[in-house]
Amino acid sequence: MNVPALLRPLRRWWPALALVVLVLLPYSALSLPGLLDGPIGSPGSLQLLALCLVFGALATGYDLLLGRTGLLSFGHALYFAAGTYATDLLLTQTGLGFWPSAALGLLAGVVLAALLGSVSLRMTGIGFAMVTLAFAQAGSILVERDPGGVTGGEEGLAATGLPGWLVGIQHTANLYWIALAYLVVTLAAVQWAVRSPIGRVWEGIRENERRVEVLGLRPYGFKLVAFVLAGTLAALGGVVYLLLTGGATPQATTSDFTLSLLVMVVLGGSGSRWGPLVGGVLYTWAQHRLASLAGSGTIAGLPSVLRVPLSQPLFLLGVLFVVIVYALPGGVAGLPARLRGRGAQA
């Protein structure tokens, strides 16, 4: 019996099988000590898993710019924050229901991405990166200054008027499924765009933009499409994040947020199909779990030489990132190919 022939259908349908498993996770009572604090179906575990899915999707959308088109943007957090704050403000200030507010919040992110993208893409290379950073910093300052008392300043803005089935720990499973739906929508949109004729032009722009111009195409329009699509997916992620956290916080508007997305993409493997998703999930999980490890009694009992650096979650996360990047230059997504290569050599 040919074993590779039997595995071929599994290779084709494993994403669907993985989706079924993810959908059923809230019903699981399985415990994973060290990975999660409680059973998979517990509210705390589902909250962490939902955040992992959201940031995996955000990294996948951001890779449309970095890995697919070759655009290094430092302002991607601005469109995520636009979806979060616009939806929250409409809920708290106008009394609109959640779904109209979410639709208008998403529209705000799309319009903002189209306007700022049309300006930023007039520049190339490092100039483009600096312009996007300037826009993001302006948005962050605007939120923290709290003009008119509408953004909540450094305290953020709590969401009110959310549907009852989305509020409370007893409805954490509903929030998890919404995060999973956002991930599916993002993956579908990215794969459709990458496989379309526009996606092939993005690949050409990433490799050699001048050659695309020689072929008679205008790279500006194609880059703007990638920018707006990535911004739209980020704004949609902001709406989902608002549900998970119950409010909008100024931390989501800073350039550090975009740098975290950049780290996720590099960690997973830029330009790959599943790499940014894996990087986003691993980074988010490590960020939360290492914070618990840093405050544990095990670390507190170590000598000061070890206790001081190990009690800093960012230090642990940085060391982990350096080790993975050094051991896997192409990101986690390149690990299977490296293993196959070593097997072939053996």
Convert the pLDDT of each residue in 9-42 to its tens digit.
Answer: 666 677 888 888 899 999 988 888 878 888 998 9
Let me know: does 121 contact 223? Beta carbons within 8 Å. yes
Q: Band of the pLDDT at 1, cuts 50, 70, 90?
A: very low
pTM of the model: 0.89
pLDDT of residue 161: 80
Q: Band of the pLDDT at 297, cuts 50, 70, 90?
A: low
pLDDT of residue 10: 60
Mean pLDDT is highest, among 129-138, 159-168, 269-278, for 129-138
Mean pLDDT is highest, among 60-64, 287-291, 313-317, for 60-64
Q: What is the CA radius of gyration of the chain?
A: 21
Q: What's the rounded mean pLDDT across residues 234-252?
A: 90
How far CA 146 is from CA of 161, 166, 180, 251, in Å, comes to 21, 27, 33, 14
Q: How far apart are the first and last CA of the chain?
A: 24
Q: Band of the pLDDT at 155, cuts 50, 70, 90?
A: confident
* Mean predicted lDDT score pLDDT of the chain: 86
Rounded Cα gap, residues 284 and 53, in angstroms: 9
Q: What's the rounded mean pLDDT across residues 149-162?
A: 81
Q: What's the rounded mean pLDDT across residues 53-80?
A: 93
- Tokens 């601005």 belong to residue: 78
Give the Cβ contact number of residue 1 at 10 Å: 4
pLDDT of residue 3: 46
pLDDT of residue 325: 76
pLDDT of residue 5: 55
Give the residue extent of every domain in the chain: 39-255
Check whether 153 has a pLDDT greater than 90: no
Check whether 6 has a pLDDT greater than 60: no
Rounded Cα gap, residues 211 and 224, in angstroms: 18
